[in-house]
Amino acid sequence: MRVTPSLRSLRTLTAALTAAVTAVTAALAPVPAAAQAAPPADDVKPVRVVILVDESGSLSGADVARERAAAQLIALSELSPRSQVSVVGFGSSNGRGQSAVDIVCPLTGVETAQDRESLSRCVERLRRRESGDGNDTDHAAALDQALSIMNEPDDQQRSKIVFLLTDGVLDVAGSPQYGADAESRNRNAQKQIDSGLKDAERAKVQIWPLGFGSADKSSLDAFAAGGWREPCGGQESATPRARVVADSKDVERSLLEAFAYARCAGIGDSVTDSLDSGATVDLHVTIPIIATDGSIVVVKRDRRIQVTYFDPEGTQVPKQGEQNESTFQAAGEAGPVESLRIRNPVPGQWRIQLKSPPGVDRQDVSATVVWQGALRASISLSNPRPRPGEQVTVRLRLQTRTGTISDPAALAGLRFTAGLTGEGFQETPIALGDTGDGADRAKDDGEFSGRVAVPETATGTLSFLGKVTGPGVAGDERPYETRIAGPADRLRGQVRLEAAVAEPGGEVAGTVGVTNDGEPARLGLRLLDTPGTVSLSAQELQAPAGTSEHAFTLRIAADAAEGQVGGQVQVVDAAGQVVAEDFVKVEVQRPTPMWLRALQALLILLVVVAAGLLFLMIRRRRRQRAADPSELTLYLFDRPGEPHISRLQAPLGSGPEFGFDVTDRRLVHTYGTGYSVRRGEGRSVLVTDPSGRRLDPLFPGRPIALTDHLYLGVDDGRAKGGEQPAYGPAEPQPSRTHRPMPGDDLL
């Protein structure tokens, strides 16, 4: 599975350095023959495509150009390197030397860039026929030619798809091979079409007609309905149907949609913009996380326009070769349509940059992504050998070439279903969902599950079948064959493998619990659907009579890709029957490089130091605030209870204490001599006389003796809201923007 963009380039560099200094791991221990399993699907399913292109005289030059571009779209956007494409032009055969069909591109593979370039070039031979070439519309001959190509030997079991592009209706009135007179020729040709459509249905050939201009919708509907109509497990969008567009301008997008639906692929929006001479424009398309293969198809019109591709991380990707975990192959660069086929694309928004050199006319350019998920279902049973009447939990999950898909959003459009068949009972459907209630929603671990009771009438074999279908997904069916438990079945087991995170080359511990009601037994351990990703520390275990626990270890391959590891661990008996099993639930994460760890530690240290400094600053400010005497006001009295004879406001910025003295029965500021005043605990004020002796604590409203005949009182400006000063109503305070000088009296 894919890594998030944030550290991908860093992790790629780390992986390269690690690979340079790490020895090749030892070969995995051989697995017994009973434990061998078929490898998971490694590619999207291949197709055999025939594109029938109308060359009749009713076409304009612009129509033919659009048809060529549409045919190139199909030839260049095909996802599987094992697919084949043929392009056939057709008109009519009205006289000697004429042919109703013209194979402009014989059946050609699309494995290499050269193959695809060859298709792109041969499509250019499509032309508008003149009257001497046979320029009527012979759909019957076109269909016969397509079926003849489909009948050629095929060792890949490719799906068969015919695309019919036409602007007219069947017209063979001038073709003598269909009858002696013009009136009967169209009827005879239509009978030939009807027979051909029956052959197409029997051979499972899909037919997707696309009409424009004066095309007859009803006759095109008959083409779509006459061929095979269930290519993608009954998905409505994938059922062949006729399309009729207003003119040839709409042919490209409509045919590309039909192509995607016909091969059970997904298709994104077509993004279009105008490109001026000498200018650059960016187009953006999105590849979903569920896609394992994709083609970005760019219609640039003029072959001189240059195209550059950037992945969702902003990295320019090569047009040929590999980068990180992806493989790229571009084709059509020298033509009006080009594409970039990507195996294991980075999901997200891709940027396609088109650059027009000076002297090129203004063009409308577009980009579209066609994608498919080559996915595989894995099925697991809570009790692989149930007895009649027992409940069994069926679990199904989906995996790609490199791991499982656990993101519920990525699975939202898919449908997971299951069924149970066997001897002695009718087929039983199993509702799968996040809680087994049939809701098509996945849990956070990407599993769909459901419970089913094995019918009481079951007598022998049991077959569980899990299915996954959905738009853009090469649907998969996974059978699980077993038998009901008999009297001799005395083994029961459970595999316990918790979800874990591990580094490449690391290990994950698991256990097998076995209850054996018979003689000691030798059991095997095996892995399914984990090609080279993980291995087992042991291939077998000895189960004594009674209950026993057995530890095992999953070893992660040193070159394992990051993401969810797919597969299952199974315990099998001597006959190869499954006793217990569980899904592998391991998230592979590459170790953080030492220099990055050091950087992270430094950043953490800096954060801690900054937080400590901030704490100290706040603490110091609080202490300064607590000790600040600037809101204190001193009063001088002849005796307590009488009006004060002098008043002195503490100066601003004097620090934690300030000095004063009494001169001529007046309070005056001093610095370094006389009395000193500072705040004490609570609301107390501490006064020290000139000799350094501490006087009694001073509180607001409670004067103390300063000399034999004078008393000192204090008011605190920090009094709570509403509290009146101890010595009368509050008086307006003068603005104190400077440090008071000695002798200042603020009366």
What local confidence, expressed as pLDDT, does residue 531 receive? 64
Q: What is the mean pLDDT of residues 9-30?
A: 34
Residue 710 backbone dihedrals phi, psi, to 5 degrees: -130, 145
- According to DSSP, residue 663 is labeled E
Tell which wins on pLDDT, 621 or 149. 149
Q: How far apart are the first and last CA of the chain?
A: 81
What local confidence, expressed as pLDDT, does residue 34 receive? 31
- Per-chain mean pLDDT for the chain: 84
Exposure string for 202-228, b = 16+ CB within 10 A, e = fewer: eeebbbbbbbbbebbeebbebbbebbb
The three-point CA angle 390-394-399 to 5° equals: 165
In Å, how far are 504, 505, 552, 555, 557 from 25, measured between CA atoms? 11, 9, 19, 11, 8
* Interatomic CA distance for residues 593 and 583, integer angstroms: 30
What local confidence, expressed as pLDDT, does residue 234 receive? 60
Q: What is the mean pLDDT of residues 101-126?
A: 92
Question: Is pLDDT at 474 greater than 70 in this prediction?
Answer: no
Per-residue pLDDT of 711-741, as tens digits, reads 999 998 886 554 556 675 544 444 444 344 3
- Please count the residues of the chain: 747
* Interatomic CA distance for residues 653 and 658, integer angstroms: 9
Tell which wins on pLDDT, 192 or 385. 192
Select from 57, 60, 65, 136 the least CA-distant residue to 100. 136
Tell which wins on pLDDT, 742 or 429. 429
- The verdict on pTM exceeding 0.95 is no
Question: Is pLDDT at 24 greater than 70 in this prediction?
Answer: no
Pairing of strands 47-54, 159-166: parallel
Cβ–Cβ < 8 Å for 307, 382: no
In the 3-class helix/strand/coil scheme, how is 313-365 assigned residue by residue? Answer: CCCECCCEEEECCEEEEEECCCCCEEEEEEECCCCEEEEEEEECCCCCCCEEE
What local confidence, expressed as pLDDT, does residue 442 receive? 43
What local confidence, expressed as pLDDT, does residue 296 receive? 96
Residue 664 backbone dihedrals phi, psi, to 5 degrees: 50, 45
What local confidence, expressed as pLDDT, does residue 694 receive? 92
Q: Record the tokens describing residue 436, joined without a space.
A: 């087994």
Q: Record the tokens describing residue 487, joined without a space.
A: 């009297």
Least confident of 275-279, 464-468, 728-732: 728-732
Per-residue pLDDT of 331-346, as tens digits, reads 989 888 999 999 999 9
Per-residue pLDDT of 278-318, as tens digits, reads 999 999 999 988 898 999 999 998 889 999 999 999 999 99
Name the band, by pLDDT with cuts 50, 70 and 90, for residue 69: confident
Tell which wins on pLDDT, 433 or 531. 433
In Å, how far are 160, 389, 440, 695 from 692, measured between CA atoms? 108, 98, 86, 9
Cβ–Cβ < 8 Å for 595, 17: no
Name the band, by pLDDT with cuts 50, 70 and 90, for residue 16: very low
Counting beta carbons within 10 angstroms of the beta carbon of residue 127, is it exposed (0 to 12), middle (13 to 18) or buried (19 or more)? Answer: middle
Region of 647 please: left (phi>0), alpha (psi -120 to 50) or beta.
Answer: beta
Name the band, by pLDDT with cuts 50, 70 and 90, for residue 575: confident
What local confidence, expressed as pLDDT, does residue 128 receive? 92
Least confident of 129-143, 222-236, 514-528, 675-689: 222-236
